[in-house]
Amino acid sequence: MASRAERFKQAAVKAARSARKWAQTAAREADRLLAEAQKRVKTEQRQRRLKAALRRTGKVLKAAGRAAIVAGVAAGIASARAENRARKLSKKKR
């Protein structure tokens, strides 16, 4: 049978191995959590950039829509003026 000192040493070695194993497991888990947190941050930054781009696109589309309305109104006015001028010219010729 092993002496008391040897049994104590074996128990200490076994405890140290177990502690090392759990430390490695904890390190792996911490790395996994860190990677997940970084991925989430990148996703949030990507979403923020996407929202900003969509906002800018919305502003551009609004401006384009306003310009289209103004162009439509201007075309209608020009068409009405041209029609009025054509009527006046045809009346003068008679």
pTM exceeds cut of 0.85: no
Give 2-28 pLDDT, tens digit per residue.
788 788 788 888 899 899 999 999 999
Q: Are 10 and 18 within 8 A, CB to CB?
A: no
Give 34-66 pLDDT, tens digit per residue.
899 889 889 999 899 989 998 999 998 899 999
Distance of CA 4 to the CA centre of its chain: 64
Half-sphere exposure of 13 (CA within 13 A, CB side): 6
Report how far apart, in Å, the C-alpha atoms of 11 and of each of 3, 17, 18, 21, 74 are: 12, 10, 10, 15, 93
* DSSP single-letter state for residue 73: H
